[in-house]
Amino acid sequence: MKENVKYLRVWREQAGFSQEALADRLGVTRQTVINWESGATSPPMSRLLQIAQIISVPLAVLLADMEAAPQQASGLLYRADDPSQLNRALKQVLTKKATDYVYLEELLHERASLPPSCPLVDYDPAFIEKTAASLRFWLGIGDVAPISDAISLLEFKGVKVIRHPLPQKVSGFSAYTESWGGVIVVNSEHAPERQMLTALHELAHLVFHRGEYAQPQAVKAKSDPREKAANHLAGAIMLPTPVVEMELHGYQRKWIPEPLLLDLKNRYWVSLRTVLVRAQQTGIISQEQLGKQLGTIQKKYGINEPELQALPAMSELGRIERLTFRALAQAEITISRAAEYLNKPLVEVRSDLNTWMEREQENEPVSADR
């Protein structure tokens, strides 16, 4: 095969596509994909653009030499609960996306920030609850307000969040560098409430375990105190103690009815399991009852809980999309470069840009003399 897509098979498998599935999406035969991967033939540039968009890999990365060292110009350091899932191919893709994100921030003089580091080695529930309260303040929300879009709140504060398709069992990753700040990757294939909890879980690692990003991480059991701490903090931000006590004070040591669990799920955009865990962590129910109720939920629903009755009011555009459209509107980048950053066809980027500009004009304040 010519060198333009030397590692097409690697990228295809990384994205979870079979040869048949990729061929179907492209409208070609499986044999065509086999020929490309074997080197018998080479896909034209129009097909390369399609492939890059389908498998969510920037074209520059698709064409790059994977044997070369990944972009680490600013020393981006990754941390993963299961490092085996963060392989070289995926790290290249995420680093390229983070690099583009940082470039847009610098181009538009945007500020990246993170909450202060609060090192925590063991599992300290009281410290975690206190940290959760301070992080809600940092995010600009009160003690009891529901969080309808945790990801947008993080991005507003300057934490880079990248939605990217990952294997089903992987929720997300995070990365850190002093010059770039924090980068959080969430699985775009997961339900909205799970994406939000994942983003806050990774924020917890950036707060509690920032010193670990410089060291390769071993695979850890779910009982690892660092994982317990990150899960606890994420749940405590979404469902703070005052909310749990206000909503469940009448169920001290009582079985919490499923209709109530479902109601809380839909009003606070969390999982049924998160509601039960927070009830145990705040002393509403015992550890034994938690185990029994989780068992009931698992038996009835398995890993797929009922969908939210109303999706959270999550922003239609992520921060990187808004930065890209701002840079386009100011003629700081070309439409082709924008398509590369967003990994979308040119015609789709033009359409999205027009929609964004119309909304921006609608939201402009009217001056007093108009």
User: Which structure tokens are listed for 306?
Assistant: 């009922």
The predicted-structure confidence for 84-93, as pLDDT tens digits, reads as follows 778 888 888 8
Is it the case that residue 368 has pLDDT exceeding 70?
A: no
Of the residues 36, 62, 88, which one is the last residue of a structural domain?
62
Residues 90 and 191 grouped into a single domain: yes
Within a domain: residue 309? no
- In a domain, residue 307? The reply is no
Which CATH number does the domain housing residue 58 bear? Answer: 1.10.260.40
83 and 222 share one domain: yes
- Predicted local distance difference test score (pLDDT) of residue 295: 97
Q: How many domains does the chain have?
A: 4
Q: CB 236: neighbour CB atoms within 10 A?
A: 28
3 band by pLDDT with thresholds 50, 70 and 90:
very low
On whether both 111 and 174 belong to a single domain, the answer is yes
User: Residue 275: its pLDDT value, please?
Assistant: 97
One domain for residues 226 and 335:
no
Write out pLDDT tens, residues 216-227: 555 556 678 999
Chain-centroid distance of CA 169 in Å reads 14
Angle, in degrees to the nearest 10, between helices 192-208 and 225-238? 120
User: Within this chain, do residues 57 and 88 fall inside the same structural domain, yes or no?
Assistant: no
Domain presence at residue 323: yes
If asked whether residues 112 and 129 sit together in one domain, one would say yes
Are 181 and 204 in contact by the 8 Å Cβ rule? The answer is no
Report percent pLDDT > 70 for the chain.
Answer: 90
Note whether 83 and 226 are same-domain residues.
yes
Phi, psi (rounded to 5 degrees) for 288: -65, -45
Write phi, then psi, for 153 (nearest 5 degrees): -60, -45
Residue 69 lies in a domain: no
Tell me what the mean pLDDT of segment 124-140 comes to.
Answer: 96
Q: Looking at the structure, do residues 156 and 134 belong to the same domain, yes or no?
A: yes
pLDDT of residue 59: 81
Does 198 share its domain with 175?
yes
Say yes or no to pLDDT of 316 above 80. no
**368 part of a folded domain:** no
Residue range of the domain that includes 333: 319-363
Domain identity same for 141 and 178: yes
Query: Could you read off the pLDDT of 5-18 as tens digits, one per residue?
Result: 667 888 888 777 88
Q: Are residues 83 and 220 in the same domain?
A: yes
pLDDT of res. 309? 76
Per-residue DSSP letter, 68: S
Q: Which one-letter amino acid corresponds to residue 154?
A: L
12 and 55 in contact (C-beta within 8 Å)?
A: yes
What pLDDT shows up at residue 279? 98
Question: In the prediction, which pLDDT does 145 show?
Answer: 87
* pLDDT score of 76 more than 70: yes
Tell me, yes or no, whether 200 lies in a domain: yes
pTM for the predicted model, two decimal places? 0.84
The pLDDT tens digits of the residues spanning 161-185 come to 999 888 888 899 999 988 888 999 9
Work out the average pLDDT over 283-305.
Answer: 94
CA 8 to chain centre: 25
How far is CA 30 from its chain centroid? 32
What pLDDT, on the 0 to 100 scale, is given for residue 139? 93
Q: How does residue 148 score in pLDDT terms, banded at 50, 70 and 90? A: confident
- Decide which of 301, 332, 353 is a domain's last residue: 301
Residues 128, 41 share a domain:
no
Q: Which residues contact 157 (CB under 8 A, 6 or more apart)?
A: 113, 138, 139
Q: How far is residue 94's CA from residue 104's CA, in Å, rounded to a whole number? A: 15
